[in-house]
Structure 1
Amino acid sequence: MTSIKMADLYNTSSVLVLKSFNLSPEVVFPAFLFATLSYMIILFCNLILILTIVLNKSLHHPMNLILLNLPIHDLIGASAFFPQFIKEVLTDSRAIQHSLCVTQAFFIHIYAGGTVFTLTVMAYDRYIAICCPLKYSTVMTNAHIMRLISAIWGSNLFVIGLLFLLLLRLPRCRSVLSHPYCDNPSLLTLVCADTTINNIYGLVLVAVSQLIANGTILYTYLQILVACFRSRRTDTKSKALQTCATHLLVFLMLECMGLFTIISYRIKNISPELRRFLGMLTLIFPPALNPIVYGLKTKEIREKILHFIKNKILPA
């Protein structure tokens, strides 16, 4: 009798229902084509960037070794989102297994957190290179680079893993998500139990990570600007400012879209369509733009990429 009442109270169905895109029949094929081409471009560009850096020892500089983490996280985020998105568009099926939904959400959060942490460490690297050039080789040693990369992955896996452990301990009594893809806030809406601990941990996680990331970015770039304006070498100043401006633009774009999506869950008056739109942009544009920004705009990497494509992919 008790088990029957518990089954009535909690929905233990393994199938969840995602929010529909409500695509008209004439839009289905263009949407499928756009999603498939976007995913193929993201896969191609990021894999090319990874292979170029890994296979060329001349590119094994501290900045490039840190940069290598960015396309890896982009591939994680894109691969967590696009296959399910393409399936939904093509089959008009909104059903998804709960385990698959949790997996998708976990890797989407790993992508977001890892990208922010990587961009933060890249800013630190640029700060040492521009503001303390004579100390760069002694500070940014291989051992220090490995510690920084380990910190990126270790801290990200720990905080996101704990986030989902707190989620999975709670019983579900709903099966319809308010989002077209899975993330922690949308999965939390399925819970019919006290989510105070989850909410507090989520807010603290966002606050601390944003404080560290934005604080580091703000401090390092202010110091870089001061160093650039004090420099008498016009070419050095111009190159440093161009590199830092590009880096800052990528960081701000990710921060604005990601933070709006997180905050929008806690503000009832915000349009759900706008939230879904910006949430999807966060998973589409950074993974597509990052390899172009950091690959093609960096002369040394660009030359190696063109050489790799010419000799390995399109041999004469």
Structure 2
Amino acid sequence: MASPPVHDRSKPEDEEDPVDRMILRSGCGEQHYALQDCMAEHQDWRLCQKNVQTFINCMSSFQQARKEQLLKKLKETQFHQSPVTPAMPYLRTTRNNTDVIHPPGFYIIGFQTLPLISVYFIFLAFVYAITVIFNCLVIYVIIFNNALHSPKFLAVVNLAVIDLILNSSIIPRMIKIFLAKDNFIPFNLCLVQMYFYYTMSSLESYALAILAYDRLVAICFPMRHNSLNTMKVMTCIVAVTWSVTLAVVSFSTGIMTWLSFCKSVRVFSYFCDYTPTYRLSCNDYSIHFYTASSLAIFLLVVPFLFILGTYFSIIITVFSMKSVDKRVKALTTCVEHVILVAIFYIPLLVIYILGLFFGGIDPDHRVLGLSMASCIPPCLNPIIYTLKTKEIKVRLVAFVRKWKIGTAGI
């Protein structure tokens, strides 16, 4: 009976048989060569059944160990991405006779190269506590004091409510993602966070524009203030800004469901950011690009230009006043608003200008700057209005004294 070819173990190392190399790597070389020797000696594989079985068992053990090793490595990778998220299938729907594939969710992966970033999120926890306490105080003081029921303080309450919702939609989730290391966010929750963040950010810019309108009427049209800026007018302005913004952001967020995500699900940002998310899709997202660009102009640039025009008119009016005291008094009433505008717009302008003209800004530094520009203003706004607005400060002090007296009585 013809014998199979026997591997020659005397070959030079540079001519090593690839089969021999694979077998040696498996750790079954000894069994392999024992089988080869048996075959060479007896010239009949039936007389080498014991050696054949030993070699088969060794190779089976190697393959099983290799399989377990690969499964363990895969599980460790999934655990590193999201230690608490079970594996879920992609969701498939149909739109215009086309399949739309939605992932179970996304992984937020910002701040990868920054050292001691956990300190930043501990700081954000403090920022969130200050945001909640001071904005609630401002809302409480204004609502429960009839003397502050005026158009200006309605606009201040509007800003405080927006600040409270804005930081509540972003900071707790950031702490969970980056401090608790749970960076998975379900698809629908991602859209909800995206909706609230962009709605409140847009309303923040319009709230600053509304406060600029209040200063414009008070300084430039003092004789018509009671007709141009009444509670009814201010309520209508606030209601219109909320209605338009809610509708526009609902559309921009809703069209995210048109996209299929069959590539990566890793969003490089500090939350479910609109642009980094739609760029992960595997179909045409040109409508999303134009929508994002249009909304940036309509919801951020337009209010900013209105504020600049307002202060241009205020400066002209102020410098036309003959009395220096009147000039100083008029400008003093604008100080807190100018500070609010500065801390909201300047960081955004600096980051986008650096990215546009220099292009070399580190992605992690950009994400850090944008997160600070989003989270810090809602914390500082109520503090600035409390310290710089006499009416609020006086009533807040009275409220604290009353609370202390009540506590002492208990």
Aligned to 2:204: 115
Aligned to 1:132: 221
Kindly indicate whether the alpha-carbon contact (under 8 Å) linking 1:104 and 1:182 is maintained by their aligned counterparts in 2: yes
Which residue among 319, 322, 327 is the counterpart of 1:229? Answer: 319
Aligned to 1:102: 191
1:39 matches 2:128: yes
Shift of 1:265: 8.3
C-alpha separation between the residues in 1 aligned to 2:193 and 2:343?
23
Shift of 1:280: 0.7
Ranges in structure 2 where 5+ consecutive residues have no aligned partner: 1-89, 94-98
Kindly indicate whether the alpha-carbon contact (under 8 Å) linking 2:170 and 2:197 is maintained by their aligned counterparts in 1: yes
Aligned to 2:14: none
Shift of 1:283: 2.1
Query: Please, which moves more after superposition, 260-269 or 16-25?
Result: 260-269
Write the deviation string for residues 74-102 of structure 1: whole angstroms up to 9, x where unpaired: 11111011111121243222111122222
Shift of 1:261: 5.8
1:303 matches 2:403: no
Go from structure 1 to structure 2 and tell me whether the alpha carbon gap of 1:313 and 1:198 turns closer, same or farther (over 3 Å shift). farther
Go from structure 1 to structure 2 and tell me whether the alpha carbon gap of 1:228 and 1:25 turns closer, same or farther (over 3 Å shift). closer
C-alpha separation between the residues in 1 aligned to 2:394 and 2:211?
21
Q: Which amino acid aligns with 2:205?
A: V
1:73 matches 2:170: no
Shift of 1:236: 3.1
C-alpha separation between the residues in 2 aligned to 1:313 and 1:12?
55
TM-score (normalizing by structure 1): 0.88
Which residue among 132, 136, 144 is the counterpart of 1:55? Answer: 144
Query: Please, which moves more after superposition, 32-41 or 102-111?
Result: 32-41
Q: Within 5 Å, which residues of 2 pair with 1:157-168?
A: 157-168=246-257
Find the residue that maps to 1:68 and give its secondary structure: helix
Aligned to 1:197: 287
Shift of 1:58: 0.4
Shift of 1:121: 1.2
Which is greater in Rg?
A: 2
Aligned to 1:156: 245
C-alpha separation between the residues in 2 aligned to 1:164 and 1:266?
25
Go from structure 1 to structure 2 and tell me whether the alpha carbon gap of 1:16 and 1:250 turns closer, same or farther (over 3 Å shift). same
Q: Which amino acid aligns with 1:49?
A: V
Shift of 1:187: 1.7
Q: Percent identity?
A: 27
Shift of 1:126: 0.7
Go from structure 1 to structure 2 and tell me whether the alpha carbon gap of 1:215 and 1:24 turns closer, same or farther (over 3 Å shift). closer
Ranges in structure 1 where 5+ consecutive residues have no aligned partner: none
Query: Please, which moves more after superposition, 243-252 or 265-274?
Result: 265-274
1:250 matches 2:340: yes
C-alpha separation between the residues in 2 aligned to 1:16 and 1:62?
43
Shift of 1:127: 0.5
Q: Within 5 Å, which residues of 2 pair with 1:79-94?
A: 79-94=168-183
Aligned to 1:279: 370
Find the residue that maps to 1:190 and give its secondary structure: coil
How many residue pairs were aligned? 310
C-alpha separation between the residues in 2 aligned to 1:12 and 1:203?
24
Kindly indicate whether the alpha-carbon contact (under 8 Å) linking 2:110 and 2:364 is maintained by their aligned counterparts in 1: no
Kindly indicate whether the alpha-carbon contact (under 8 Å) linking 1:264 and 1:275 is maintained by their aligned counterparts in 2: no
Kindly indicate whether the alpha-carbon contact (under 8 Å) linking 1:163 and 1:201 is maintained by their aligned counterparts in 2: yes
C-alpha separation between the residues in 2 aligned to 1:299 and 1:180?
37
C-alpha separation between the residues in 2 aligned to 1:201 and 1:42?
31
Kindly indicate whether the alpha-carbon contact (under 8 Å) linking 2:275 and 2:292 is maintained by their aligned counterparts in 1: no
Q: Which amino acid aligns with 1:193?
A: N
